Structure 1
């Protein structure tokens, strides 16, 4: 089967004047993490402000021996910029229809699962139930099907969310600037886009059909969102799809260059690892162990100390509780990656995108944050 060129935009995709993608890919390709020594790591740790080169050293194998030192420094930076606050939120999946064929994702269009799209009444019911837990921030997610979850549908979900929550995030398919403007007008504050892997050759092998196959359109999504008025943008690579050090370096460089170009933008990171999916529990990442995940998170905290950072329910509860006091600033709670998971029984939901490891509810996560000597925060924005 002849496939679409993954580097060529489709007709309806907006092209913006930006060289950030080219800079990131060039930097990633030149990144040789084996060249860094213990002395390079020590120099990076000794600095108050760290360069991209320092970040590269902190991600290298040489830095593994300094993980405790990195964690101590990261904890200092986290305290300096965020204090003891840990922000809480939950995701809500409103549709799992998807037009993409991504071989690692449970929602992919060739996977035989129960597909569901919540109507406005069901969305409001879900959001009411979530709001009763005390949460004031929500992240709206859909499968990547513009046909089944068009911009108007997502916009209406944002409007409903704005009735119950002070912060509304989106993790949906990439859009054009005018579409992001519409969603911002409907109440969306920020967007999250996982680039999955920054290796365009590997990306092409993993994304076989659909709009997501187009690598540059996805990579420029955060910039289009900021041009559309979004206050914040989040970056992530799905660790384990390819060389995790290079992907982590590229994600950090991507965020760094966006911050330089848009200094007002609120920047944040997610650091998800690959998880088993429905109908395929044999999907396993290239070895990305918890110590290496901690190294990545500490390196990001030391490089961009003012950036937010989310720790996913893909990780064990014990790891999440540990990392919120060191590098992460945000934690999800009461999570379901199925459709209708906050009010309906499991057998009545659409199927899950992936398996989670931390199933604790909001009260349990709230208590765990307090046990760490930290302060759970539901919202830190005051709207005038």
Structure 2
């Protein structure tokens, strides 16, 4: 895909109320129903043409995630593996999430931290943050993902700036998965050492989105949709995208995620991108998936993304089973987490606090690292030197 930025005449305007901007203008030109039908109508010929191309389009991506591509999964897997080896080599990057708070002001039907769930709320203190950080550092991690619920008054920008300051001496790569912020707020966090932001749209089905987010700032579909734009304008090093599979048709959500990725690559061409693949997992007051995504479906999607974009980072969390993660490591994924806890203080401070969702792969960091090495790959704990960026 082209790395040429859009013309300056296409500037995006934002407001706290989510005014329409460039990506929404592109997004609304694509009917959900028509996209879903287009994917399901793809033929064997469409799949073969997509496989034969050196550079693939979004229409090719539709073919590769379509039911018609099922007989070609082995070929897709081998091509995905070859592309990943050529682009990234035989390495897998490892990271760990660190949950700082389960405070949240949103109602989300699928999340254990939802405002309506009557659970004990906890936000880590400075000492507790340092204890959790020391545990993860002791395991070898140098990439850490800070996670909170969406509660601006409790875990807003000031709290996040402080948390980044506390752990920056210990980690080269600090990412966050928190409430969407404004461009200036992202710049404040970047000045403290923020490297990347993960922000999942959950679903690109606008009406379905409203059903699952009835209250709170997150209920503003367009404000969340434009979060990657604000990150791009801030000059963030990496943006993570994704949809929560189970809320709506996974194929159609994946097409819109790919559409979003293509738009961002063209407009914010200096920024790196990653895609994650969260499937709906059990939690307190849990929501049953509307659409079930099988392991075979997930593998197909991973291969299709790699065939579409050889540069994008593809990341798989401990939501997935040990068997699936062991088998997919060599076929397109280049970043995984291990030994994850999805509750604030879950590593050391308060292991019994409520999880955001249940993980599936509970193996230790050492076991996962050994599995990667047994498959002939190197584990990457640190892929860049923070001193080059921060002058320390």
- Using structure 1 for the length normalisation, give the TM-score: 0.93
1:58 aligns with: 64
Residue 271 of structure 1 pairs with residue 274 of structure 2: no
1:152-191 Cα shifts (integer Å, max 9, x gaps): 1011111122111000001000000000001111111010
**Aligned residue in 1 for 2:109:** 103
- Number of the residue aligned with 1:22: 25
Residue ranges of structure 2 left out of the alignment (5+ in a row) = 1-13
How far is 1:148 from its partner? 1.2
Q: Which residue, out of 305, 310, 313, partners 1:305?
A: 310
Pair 1:93-2:99 in alignment: yes
Deviation at 1:21, TM superposition (A): 2.5
Number of residue-to-residue matches in the alignment: 371
Give the match's secondary structure for 2:75: helix
Could you tell me how far apart the structure 2 residues matched to 1:218 and 1:175 are? Answer: 9
CA distance in 2: counterparts of 1:24 and 1:205, whole angstroms: 19
The equivalent position to 2:156 in structure 1, one of 150, 170, 193, is 150
Q: Which residue of 2 aligns with 1:290?
A: 295
Q: Which residue number in structure 1 is paired with residue 263 of structure 2?
A: 257
Secondary structure at 1:363's aligned position in 2? Answer: helix
Q: Distance in 1 between matches of 2:349 and 2:160?
A: 21
Indicate whether 1:330 and 2:335 are aligned. Answer: yes
2:15 & 2:115 partners in 1: Cα distance?
A: 21
Residues 1:75 and 2:81 are matched in the alignment? yes
Q: Note the residue ranges of structure 1 that are not aligned, 5 or more in a row.
A: 1-10
Cα pair 1:239 1:285 within 8 Å, conserved: no
Cα deviation digits, residues 282-320 of structure 1 (max 9, x gap): 623512100001111111111011100110111001111
Q: Is 1:364 aligned to residue 367 of structure 2?
A: yes
Whole-angstrom CA distance in 1 between matches of 2:28 and 2:125: 40
Q: Stretches of 4+ moved more than 2 A in 1?
A: 14-18, 24-30, 282-285, 344-347
How many angstroms apart in 2 are the aligned matches of 1:192 and 1:288? 22
C-alpha distance in structure 1 between counterparts of 2:78 and 2:269, whole Å: 28
Name the Cα RMSD after superposition. 1.5
Contact 1:28-1:249 within 8 A present in 2 as well: no
TM-score, structure 2 normalization: 0.92
Equivalent residues of 1:101, 1:210 under 8 A apart? yes
For 1:216 and 1:66, locate their aligned partners in 2 and report how far apart those are by CA, in whole Å.
37
**Partner secondary structure for residue 27 of structure 1:** coil
1:205-233: per-residue Cα shift (whole Å, max 9, x none)?
11110000000110111110121231110
| Corresponding residue SS for 1:148 | helix
Distance change (3 Å), C-alpha of 1:52 and 1:306: same
